Structure 1
Amino acid sequence: MMIVSPTQATNGAPALSPQLPPRAGIGLKSQHYQQILERNPAVGFFEVHAENYLVAGGPFHHYLGLIRERYPLSIHGVGLSLGAQQPLDREHLERLASLLERYQPQAFSEHLAWSSHGDVFLNDLLPLAYDNATLTRVCAHIDQVQSRLQRQLLLENPATYVEFAHSSMDEAAFIGEVVRRTGCGLLLDVNNAYVSSINHHWDVQAYLHALPLHAVGEIHLAGFAEDRDAAGERLLIDNHGAPVDAAVWRLYTEVLQLIGATPTLLERDNAIPPLDLLLEEAQHAQALLDAIQPTRRQASA
Structure 2
Amino acid sequence: MSDWLIYRGSGEPHGDVAKLPEPPPWRAFYDDEPTPFDRDSDYGLTERWPLRAQAYQPDRQTLEMVNTALYLRRPLLVTGDPGVGKSSLAYSVAHELRLGSVLRWPITSRSTLKDGLYRYDALGRLEEVNNASDPTPTHIGQYFRLGPLGTALAPFELPRVLLVDEIDKSDIDLPNDLLDVFEEGAFEIPELARIADTIGSADVRPADNGARVKITGGRVRCRAFPFVVLTSNGEREFPPAFLRRCVRLHLPVPDEERLRAIVYAHLGQDAAPHAETLINRFLDRRGTGELATDQLLQAVYLARHAAGGTDTGPGHIADLVMQYLNRTL
TM exceeds 0.5?
Answer: no
Higher strand share: 1
Q: Structure 1-normalised TM-score?
A: 0.30
Bigger-Rg structure (1/2) = 2
